[in-house]
Amino acid sequence: MRDFPSCFGENGVQVADASCSGVGVSKASQNLVTCTYRCKLLGKSCLVNFVWSKSLMGQCLSVEIDDLSHQLICKIDIKPSLFSKWKGSKCFEVNSSKIEVLWDLSLAKFGSGPEPLEAYFVAVVCKGEIVVLIGDLRKEAFKKTGAASSISSTIFLSKREHIFGKRVYGTRAQFYHNGPIHDLKIECDTNGGNDPCLVVRIDTKQVMQVKHLQWKFRGNYTILVDGLPVEIFWDVHNWLFCPSLRNAVFMFQTCLSAENLWTRQPVSHPAVFSRSGSENFRDSNLPGLGFSLFLYAWKTE
């Protein structure tokens, strides 16, 4: 969506991309899940992207490491033909230092999407330390890599995911690194009447409701999840006015600034405050930002 702000400042994580506009989006691009982490590597801050994809050939994984200026350091593509072993490793030599990517997907369980749900790990190792580790097989990862420790400064920056549905769009969401995983559902019936309503639920509890959606097709609203303020941005313009495009865009952004951490309440509480309406996201000023979840919601027949 063109009006979403670039929300990571110096980290340079691009928000607007082809998948937001709905124009020229292929089925292949709709089967992508991208997770971005910031870490310390070779004495400087770097971004590590894990890009999961799914095609008729099977699951694919790309691991891309670049610095904050988007200079590519190394990249590895694990294609369906390589998944016959379901485990492996690959080494790179960068500035006389070895960077190794190891993975074990031999027991991985997949759902309908390209990203595994459990029983797997992917690790990036440098100088005897695990720089980034994803998946739930943490003990197996340390045993396989031989690493003595992991770098605690790793930050889960963002996740981008495509979800599909007719009226209900669901996924699992983790709003900060190593935080609990929640069930997240977005409900909106744009064909059920003249005044559609948008509802967001977390773990079955309603945390946001937007009525008169034809007037409030863009906006933002703040809730509490795990004691942290999470700001929800939405743009459902295409659902209402451009049905041929079929996609809406949602962003769930964890706010880490001290001014927002004034209270701790369970997720069942309603929003701390709201700023609904058709605000221009480009003019939004959101300091102290943390993790962001981008959901591209596609309406199916």
Where are the extended beta strands (E) located within 23-148?
32-41, 44-55, 58-67, 72-78, 87-94, 97-104, 109-110, 116-118, 121-126, 129-135
Q: What is the pLDDT of residues 137-187, one digit of tens each?
A: 999 999 998 887 666 678 889 999 999 998 999 999 988 777 888 999 999
The H or E element containing residue 240 is: helix 237-241
Lowest mean per-residue pLDDT among 44-48, 178-182, 285-289: 285-289
Boundaries of every domain in the chain: 32-153, 164-299
Asked if 51 and 78 count as a contact pair (C-beta separation under 8 A), the reply is no
How much is the pTM?
A: 0.78
Q: What is the pLDDT of residues 212-244, one digit of tens each?
A: 999 999 999 999 998 889 999 999 999 998 877
Compute the distance between CA of residue 278 and CA of residue 294 in angstroms, rounded to an integer.
Answer: 19
What is the rounded average pLDDT of the residues 240-251?
Answer: 87
* Beta-bridge partners for 181: 174
